[in-house]
C-alpha cells in the first residue's frame, strides 16, 4: 500500500483535478504515479511539462523508454520498470530481447547502445562522467542535442523513480521486478 495518498481525480482539489485532467489528456489515463504526485499539483504540472517537452525532442520514444528502463533498473524502481517495460512493448514496439537488454543499459543497435552507455555512466557517476565516456558517446555519433536530452530524461526518470520508491506507489502494470529486489 502506498505511503502517500493516491488522489483520485473526483476527490482532488480544483488545482489537483486540473493537473490530473492534463495528465489524462496527455496520456489517455491517470496512472497511480500521477495520483501520488497530485499531493502536489505543482509536481504533476512540472512532470507532465517536462515529459511533453522531451517527447518533442530529438530522442525517439523507443530510446526514451529504454533510458527509463535502464534508470529504473539501476534505482530499483519496480513501478517505473513495470510501466516502461509495458509502454516499451505496447507503445514503442520494442521487442522483448531489447527490453531485457535495456535493463543492462545495452542494445543491439550501436547508436542506441551509445546513448544507453552514456546515460548509465551519468547515472552511476551522479552527473559526473570522464572525458573517455564523452568521447565514446561521440564516437557512437551521439549529438550535443542527444547528450542534453539524455540528461533531461535522467532527471525525469530519477524524479519518478525516487517518488515511487518513497511512496511505494501501488503498481497497476504487469509486474517487472528489479534484479536488486529479486
Task: Render pLDDT for 73-117 as a digit per residue (tens, 0 to 9).
Answer: 999 999 999 999 999 999 999 999 999 999 999 999 999 999 999
Domain with 137, as residue range(s), is 61-167
Verify that 149 and 67 share a domain, yes or no.
Answer: yes
pTM: 0.96
Judging by beta carbons within 10 Å of its beta carbon (0-12, 13-18, 19+), is residue 110 exposed, middle or buried?
Answer: exposed
pLDDT at residue 2 tops 90: no
Q: What is the DSSP letter of 174?
A: P
pLDDT band at residue 149, thresholds of 50, 70 and 90? very high
pLDDT at residue 182 tops 80: no
| 166-177 confidence digits (pLDDT tens) | 999 999 999 999
Residue 44 contacts residue 22 (beta carbons within 8 Å) = yes
Verify that 49 and 17 share a domain, yes or no.
Answer: yes
Structural domain includes residue 136:
yes
Amino acid at each position: 500500500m502506498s505511503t502517500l495518498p493516491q488522489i483520485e481525480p473526483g476527490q482532488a482539489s480544483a488545482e489537483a483535478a486540473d493537473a490530473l485532467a492534463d495528465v489524462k489528456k496527455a496520456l489517455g489515463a491517470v496512472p497511480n504515479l500521477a495520483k501520488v504526485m497530485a499531493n502536489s499539483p505543482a509536481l504533476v504540472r512540472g512532470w507532465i511539462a517536462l515529459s511533453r517537452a522531451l517527447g518533442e525532442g530529438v530522442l525517439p520514444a523507443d530510446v526514451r523508454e529504454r533510458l527509463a528502463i535502464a534508470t529504473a533498473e539501476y534505482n530499483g524502481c519496480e513501478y517505473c520498470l513495470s510501466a516502461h517495460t509495458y509502454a516499451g512493448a505496447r507503445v514503442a514496439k520494442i521487442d522483448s530481447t531489447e527490453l531485457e537488454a535495456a535493463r543492462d543499459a545495452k542494445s543491439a543497435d550501436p547508436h542506441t547502445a551509445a546513448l544507453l552507455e552514456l546515460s548509465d555512466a551519468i547515472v552511476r557517476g551522479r552527473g559526473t562522467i570522464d572525458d573517455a565516456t564523452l568521447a565514446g558517446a561521440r564516437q557512437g555519433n551521439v549529438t550535443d542535442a542527444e547528450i542534453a536530452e539524455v540528461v533531461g530524461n535522467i532527471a525525469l526518470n530519477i524524479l519518478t523513480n525516487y517518488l515511487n520508491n518513497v511512496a511505494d506507489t501501488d503498481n497497476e502494470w504487469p509486474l517487472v521486478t528489479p534484479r536488486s529486489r529479486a
